[in-house]
Amino acid sequence: MSLSIANLTRRFDQTEVLRGIDLDIRQGELVALLGPSGSGKTTLLRIIAGLDWPDAGSLTVGGQDWLRKTAQERRTGFVFQHYALFPHMKVRDNIAFGLTVLPRRDRPSSPEIAEKVRELLHFLQIDTLADRYPTELSGGQRQRVALGRALAISPQLLLLDEPFGALDAQVRRDLRRWLRGVHEASQTTTIFVTHDQEEAFELADRVVVMGAGRIEQIGHPDEIYDHPASDFVARFVGLTV
């Protein structure tokens, strides 16, 4: 789905955490929200997911007013840095979970769920993990499963908050390549939060650079690298000014 945000603001007590965010994302894009810690990235993602609410502004997805919808009605898929898979459930049951709790009219039958899970395990190249428990997986494998769980419900938007943040450099690189492939095949509109500029630049179709509650620049990675809009952006993407 396409997403459109206009003049969105959010304050906690005296602090303005989002100071008028305008952002349009096209169907099928992979966009990175890049910025230092405390710049408002997670707050923006939580508002899109329906886990938090803005003080003002609008948020539409696929032309619908999402601020009138509950988190469940929005049907977003999430992956967090420390995304807790259910420890007592096998990988296949973790992936099936989102489908089993859909409202009755949207819920597939048990054989349909089993088939969908089989397809996803194959698509994500984690077939061999199906009958393992989360404690038997590496960190990188867990995040692949977490993505499977998020994708199982055919989400309208996929929201990823520092999903590889706790992993070591080589695993992160492998997962980036893997995620890029999964994205190209699924074409799910995806918003990826990171404070790692290398990750943002390698993964994203467009990068949204945030600083102190504002968007400093939006553009294709090359555009931002070649033409940073401000000293803040230049410094943040590692250019000397």
The residues that touch ligand ADP, with contacts defined as CB under 6 A, are: 12, 17, 35, 37-43
Compute the least distance from the CB of residue 73 to ligand ADP, in Å: 23
Q: Which residues have a Cβ under 8 Å from the Cβ of 24 and sit 6 or more positions away?
A: 2, 3, 4, 5
Answer for the pair 224, 183: CB distance below 8 angstroms, yes or no: no
Is the CB of 22 or the CB of 52 nearer to ligand ADP?
52
Nearest to 125 by CA among 160, 177, 75: 177
Is the CB of 18 or the CB of 117 nearer to ligand ADP?
18
Is the CB of 16 or the CB of 174 nearer to ligand ADP?
16
Compute the least distance from the CB of residue 210 to ligand ADP, in Å: 7
Burial of 13 (0-12, 13-18, 19+ CB in 10 A): exposed
Give the pair of three-digit tokens for residue 156. Answer: 């309208």
Compute the least distance from the CB of residue 157 to ligand ADP, in Å: 17
Compute the least distance from the CB of residue 214 to ligand ADP, in Å: 12
- In angstroms, rounded to a whole number, what is the distance separating the alpha carbons of residues 241 and 220? 20
Is the CB of 21 or the CB of 25 nearer to ligand ADP?
21
